Structure 1
Amino acid sequence: MKIKEIIESGIMETYVMGIATEQEIEQVLTLRKEFPEFEQELNKLEYDMEVLAHGMAVPPPPGVLEKIEHEVHEIQLSAQKLEKFSEQEHTTNHESAKKDRYIEVESESSHMRIHKAWRWVFAAVFVLGKIFLGFAIYFYLANKQAQEQILELKTEIKRSVPFR
């Protein structure tokens, strides 16, 4: 009778879904060893959850496996080429390779270096930003002036039209 209550308590479901606490995991593992009925119910639940997961699974788009295989193959080829290149470099120019191998990681300068083409792009974006800011201020002031003129015209119309 006690084992039925434990089975219906929901502890197996939390265990199978992977959200059980450490105490619940230990309890399930001990119950699994002690009671064959609990073991059978747990196996049945695991099977049902697996069938449900397979039924709800979304297949990947066609061609994904080929793309992954191609990328892995390219990575392997580039690693092999790099190994061959480093072996050749090591055997031919051992002394000169030592001098060229070091790269300065830290720099005293706080400035960032960018490619010359990007400098022109950043300059163009900066100039365009200033131009658009100027237009925005101009149109804001023009709108404000137009609203003031409309307000003046409304008050003038109210003064000139007599009350009936």
Structure 2
Amino acid sequence: MEINKVIESGLMETYVMGIATEEEVQQVLRYKQEYPEFKDALESLEFDMELMAQNMGIAPPAGTLAKIETEIREIQRRNQSVEKVPDPEYGGGNNETEAKQDRYIEVESESNQMRVNKAWKWAFIAVFVLGKIFLAAAIFFYLENRQAQEKIQELKIELKQYKK
């Protein structure tokens, strides 16, 4: 009866997800050795979690693996054919751009989202907020101007009435 409470307590779930504390891990391993029904329930949970992970996985776009393999082969070929990059202290350094190119693999993305450097992110936010402030000020002054124009019209009408 006690083992059923342990099974339903969520201890196995934390263990399987890898978020259990060291004490909980030791407890699960002890229960796994002592109680066969706990071991069966744990194996069943691990199997279910594996199936769920496989079903929720997102496959990469077609041809991605081939592109990565091609880029890796190209980098390996360049590394084998290019001599050592000279040390800039000794007057070398002509191959600096080639050395930088060797460090990156270009991967094409079909994403429609734009990535922004963190520094530019704050600049965009500031421009957006300033735009909203200027829009509010423009609306405010437009309404004030309209009200002033109406007031001027009323004063003109009153002035005409006094002249008569």
Q: TM-score category by the smaller chain?
A: 0.5 to 0.7
SS in structure 1 of the partner of residue 158 of structure 2: helix
User: 2:155 is aligned with what amino acid?
Assistant: E
Structure 1 unmatched ranges of 5 or more? 90-96, 103-139
Q: Which residue of 1 aligns with 2:84?
A: 86
How far apart in 2 are the matches of 1:25 and 1:66?
41
CA change 1:98–1:2 in 2 (3 A) is: same
Letter in 2 for 1:64: T
TM-fit CA distance, 1:33: 2.2
Instruction: Assess, with a 3 A threshold, how the Cα gap between structure 1 residues 15 and 158 changes in structure 2: closer, same or farther.
Output: farther
Distance in 1 (alpha carbons) for counterparts of 2:34 and 2:17: 22
* Residue 61 of structure 1: how far off its partner (Å): 1.4
Structure 1 residues 70 and 157: CA distance shift in structure 2, 3 A: farther
RMSD over equivalenced CA pairs, Å: 3.4
In the alignment, the residues of structure 2 paired with residue 43 and residue 31 of structure 1 have an alpha-carbon distance, to the nearest angstrom, of 13
Give runs of aligned pairs for residues 3-152 of structure 1, distance below 5 A: 3-82=3-82, 85-86=83-84, 99-101=90-92, 147=145, 150=149
Provide the rounded CA distance (Å) in 1 between the counterparts of 2:62 and 2:5: 47
What's the TM-score once normalised by structure 1's chain length? 0.55
Count of residues in Structure 1 that have an aligned counterpart in Structure 2 = 114
Query: Which structure is higher in helix share?
Result: 1
**1:156 has 2:147 as partner:** no
Compared with structure 1, are the counterparts of its residues 12 and 79 closer, same or farther at alpha carbon in structure 2 (3 Å cutoff)? same
Q: Which runs of 5+ in 2 are unaligned?
A: 94-137
Aligned twin of 2:120? none
Query: 2:107 — aligned with what?
Result: none
